[in-house]
């Protein structure tokens, strides 16, 4: 039996902008922790723009979900690291495209840098089934 995932946004907390305040998981048989996905292609190419890196990081996240037989609906939490505040709007747009419908709980941080100085985005996630 798959996990029952309930997403809640209490009226007593400001409405979220593209994420969910709380996620309850009941009966999960599997928990998949996904390492931070960066904007690097399978051949090692790193796109030059933040928007292209966002698209690739989300594509990489989807590929890991697919490899585990999961969908974006199984994602219950993301943590996102951006190196440039100008990427906030493009990130929100890319997130909305990735998580249409049921969105995970989420934390977003702006950081001084990532493992490779060319990386502008890193997205880690937790999924259940």
* 87, 114 contact by CB (below 8 A): no
| Beta-sheet pairing, 75-82 with 105-110 | parallel
**What DSSP character marks residue 47?**
-
Q: First-to-last CA distance in the chain?
A: 9
Span 82-128, pLDDT tens digits = 999 999 999 999 999 999 888 999 999 999 999 999 999 999 999 99
Walk me through the domains of the chain, giving residue ranges and CATH numbers: 4-128 (3.30.1330.40)
Cβ of 46: how many Cβ atoms within 10 Å? 15
Tell me the β-bridge partners of 79: 107, 124
Enter the pTM of the model. 0.93
Span 12-63, pLDDT tens digits = 999 999 999 999 999 989 999 999 999 999 999 999 999 999 999 999 999 9
Tokens linked to 48: 């030059």
């Amino acid at each position: 039996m798959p996990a029952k995932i309930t997403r809640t946004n209490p009226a007593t907390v400001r409405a979220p902008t593209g994420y969910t305040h709380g996620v309850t998981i009941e009966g999960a048989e599997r928990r998949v922790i996904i390492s931070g996905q960066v904007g690097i292609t399978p051949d090692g190419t790193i796109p030059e723009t933040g928007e292209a890196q966002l698209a690739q990081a989300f594509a990489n996240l989807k590929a890991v979900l697919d490899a585990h037989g999961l969908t974006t609906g199984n994602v219950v939490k993301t943590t996102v690291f951006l190196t440039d505040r100008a990427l906030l709007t493009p990130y929100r747009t890319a997130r909305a495209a990735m998580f249409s419908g049921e969105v995970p709980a989420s934390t977003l941080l702006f950081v001084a840098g990532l493992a490779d100085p060319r990386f502008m985005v890193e997205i880690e996630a937790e999924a259940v089934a």
